[in-house]
Amino acid sequence: MSDQKPQMLISYMLLRKLIGCLGILLPIILVFGAFASNCQTIQGSISDYYHTEMRNIFVGILCAVALFMFTYKGYDKRDAIAGNLACFFALGVAFFPTSVDASSLCTTDCAENCITYGEWIKIVHFTSAALFFSVLIYFSLFLFREPRKRSVALPEAKRKRNFVFKVCGYVMVFCVFAIALYHFVLIDNFPELAQLNLVFWFEVIALWAFGISWLTKGQFVLKDN
């Protein structure tokens, strides 16, 4: 039994690092992969890459994240439930694509799968994305910061990791609210903002915060002695 516990901890550390790496690499792979396929334009959002030649990569990475989340059990039932929910919502983002703006993407060299889906599919996509990030925020702000032994003083490395989790969690909160503000308020009043691809950049920041949080939880940095 004593030999199994270190193996279990090592496997969870690796799983956390893999999840973190995928979060950080997703936008990088999509952008440079699209550039390599003669799509020289940054898309309006990460999800818009579904309609380019990077569609399979986009769906594949999200499915990998979903699989890793499903296998992640953590230390108690809350970790397992949150992981299962993250898996479900990640699959919702992957298999219920956002609608494409026919006046922009479809008229460029980036268009590969230029299809306008029903409004309900778009709603499922955005709801899944919002709930997916909500679960990730819950991981960073609550689950990751809890001590394994409440009666023991937190080691210095753990206190530093908790600070990273807190910063990453609030960065994701800010990005989610910024994207919501853009969609529901700013875009109608300031349509010229669409040229800045603000949603894409806020999503990139949120994904990097998610990735850094999981890499830190996997002790890629700030390791315990």
pLDDT digits (tens, 9 = 90+) for 103-131: 555 556 677 766 667 788 989 999 999 99
**Domain count along the chain:** 1
Where in the sequence is the domain holding 119, given as residue range(s)?
4-217
Looking at the domain assignment, is residue 96 inside a domain? yes
DSSP string, the chain: -TTHHHHHHHHHHHHHHHHHHHHHHHHHHHHHHHHHTT--S--SSGGGGGGSTTHHHHHHHHHHHHHHHHH---SSHHHHHHHHHHHHHHHHHHHSPPPP-TTTGGGSTT-SS-----HHHHHHHHHHHHHHHHHHHHIIIIITTS-SSTTSPPPHHHHHHHHHHHHHHHHHHHHHHHHHHIIIIIHHH-GGGGGGTHHHHHHHHHHHHHHHHHHHHTTSSS---
Looking at the domain assignment, is residue 224 inside a domain? no
The pTM is what?
0.90
pLDDT digits (tens, 9 = 90+) for 153-202: 788 999 999 999 999 999 999 999 999 999 999 988 888 888 899 999 99
Looking at the domain assignment, is residue 225 inside a domain? no
Torsion angle in degrees (nearest 10) through CA of 101, 62, 29, 203: 60
Looking at the domain assignment, is residue 205 inside a domain? yes
Looking at the domain assignment, is residue 169 inside a domain? yes
